[in-house]
Amino acid sequence: MAFVDEAKFFVKAGDGGKGCVSFRREKYVPRGGPNGGDGGHGGSIIIECASRLHSLIDFRYRSHFKAKSGSPGMGKDMHGRKGSDCLMSVPVGSLIKDIETGEVLADLCNEGDRFIAARGGKGGLGNRHFSSGTNRTPRIATKGVEGEERWLRIELKLIADVGLVGLPNAGKSTLLSKLSAANPKVASYPFTTLEPQLGVLHLPHKESCIIADIPGLIEGAHEGIGLGFTFLRHIERTKILLHVLDVSSAQAMDDFLVVEKELQSYKEELLRKTRLLVLNKIDIATPDLVEQLQSEFADMGFETVPIAGLTGEGIDKIKFWIADILETYNTVNAVQSNTKEETTSLRDATEDSADIE
């Protein structure tokens, strides 16, 4: 199944039903008066996060979503039925944007998150609302309000803890297969990975984490060369970046700088993420070159782990490093969250005290 991570679609909420003009006509009930009911409200378009989805492939086959309109009001003060809502399911990590302005309308990051993309119109009023002392037989009712409609864009940003980046053929897919049970395509030619791949790393006595393998970057990706920046959005939410380098090549440092430049051209915040340089293919590399690269990267402030993806050498070091970093990350976040809650509680208590005084 193809991986689709962006699409545009049209939403149209239901129109409100029109109000009814009706009068009470019963035997032995003179001057029954108006009894026209209101129209039902139109249904809304609701977008909901579902963890069972991992792609926007459904939008390839359907791009128009419409909710039901409300039913018109009827006599005997009977209201029209409300139009049923249209519920759209999207993957966790979906970003909803207005296609004309580019404004981000919703960022759906958790299972069950909802966003009303288009609100249904209100139902019209029946003639009973227009009765007065001077007009006891109103013959007017209002039409229902039209439901909202617009074109939207949806972009998927995968929710992953660790992102793999590097040039084509650096060994990212091999590393993903060693760190998780994923089975990505591995071959000896560039661009074997044409779409993001996900794997789950099971850590002993710790929570599992998700790893995302991003198709290889090349020089000029920010200008659309190769696969361009098509999939870089999927590492924006990651906590850790593993930069995989092929150290069997004499131009490993140049390769590193190429990827650094492309990441910076896309979004400079990526360079501020916690990163580990994975020096891959040491089984076929010159030991002196590996030591030289480790020394140069250490001077630049980067931590490195030499590995041989094919044989599995050094893979455990990466697992332990990821486990330690994620544990520290989660601890810091928990402390910040508790501090924020305590600050909020203290502020609320202070405001309550001020109100009492």
Each residue's pLDDT tens digit, 74-92 = 999 999 999 999 999 999 9
Task: Give pLDDT, residue 127.
Answer: 93
| 171 has a pLDDT exceeding 60 | yes
**Whether residues 183 and 313 fall in one domain:** yes
Decide: helix, strand or coil at residue 190: coil
pLDDT band, very low/low/confident/very high, at 138 (cuts 50, 70, 90): very high
Q: What does DSSP say about strands 149-156 and 94-98: parallel, antiparallel, or unpaired?
A: antiparallel
Pairing of strands 274-280, 303-306: parallel
pLDDT confidence of residue 227? 53
CA torsion sign, 273 to 278 to 279 to 284? negative
Mean pLDDT of the chain, nearest integer: 84
Q: What is the pLDDT of residues 193-221, one digit of tens each?
A: 556 778 888 877 777 888 888 876 766 65
Q: What is the pLDDT of residue 30?
A: 74
**H or E element, residue 116:** strand 114-118
Query: Residues 35-74: pLDDT tens digits?
Result: 999 999 999 999 999 988 888 888 988 999 999 999 999 9
**Whether residue 233 sits in one domain with residue 111:** no
Query: Tell me: the pLDDT tens digits for 324-337?
Result: 888 888 777 666 65
Q: Tell me what pLDDT residue 224 has.
A: 58
Q: For the residues 282-307, what does the mean pLDDT come to?
A: 91
Range with lowest mean pLDDT among 7-21, 40-54, 209-223, 250-264: 209-223
The H-or-E segment that residue 337 falls in is helix 315-356
What total of structural domains would you count in the chain?
A: 2
What per-residue confidence (pLDDT) applies to 303? 92
φ, ψ of residue 344 to 5 degrees: the values are -65, -45
306: enclosing H helix or E strand: strand 303-306
| pLDDT score, position 1 | 42
Same domain for 125 and 207? no
The whole-number pLDDT of residue 158 equals 80
Residues 61 and 169 in one domain: no
- Alpha carbon 185 to its chain centroid, in Å, reads 26
What is the pLDDT confidence band of residue 122, given thresholds at 50, 70 and 90?
very high
In a domain, 218, yes or no: yes
Query: Residue 159: its pLDDT value, please?
Result: 78
148 and 167: one domain?
no
Which CATH number fits the domain that encloses residue 269?
Answer: 3.40.50.300
Last residue in a domain, options 99, 124, 156: 156
Higher pLDDT, 223 or 69: 69
The 10s digit of each residue's pLDDT in 231-240 is: 777 788 888 9
Residue-number span of the structural domain to which 289 is assigned: 162-332
Distance CA 346, CA 251 (A): 57
The CATH number that applies at residue 57 is 2.70.210.12
Taking the C-alpha atoms of residue 57 and residue 151, their distance in angstroms, rounded to an integer, is 18
pLDDT of residue 347: 60
Residues 59 and 166 in one domain: no
* In-domain check, residue 38: yes
The CA distance from 184 to 216, in Å, is 14
230 and 324 in one domain?
Answer: yes
Look at 218-222, 241-245, 290-294, 307-311 and tell me which has the smallest mean pLDDT: 218-222
Show the tokens assigned to 338.
């508790």
| pLDDT, average across residues 109-113 | 90
Q: Are residues 173 and 276 in the same domain?
A: yes
- Look at phi and psi of residue 77 and say left if phi exceeds 0, alpha if psi is from -120 to 50, else beta: left
Calculate what percentage of the chain has a pLDDT beyond 90. Answer: 43
For the entire predicted model, the pTM comes to 0.72
Residue 351 tokens read as 């405001």
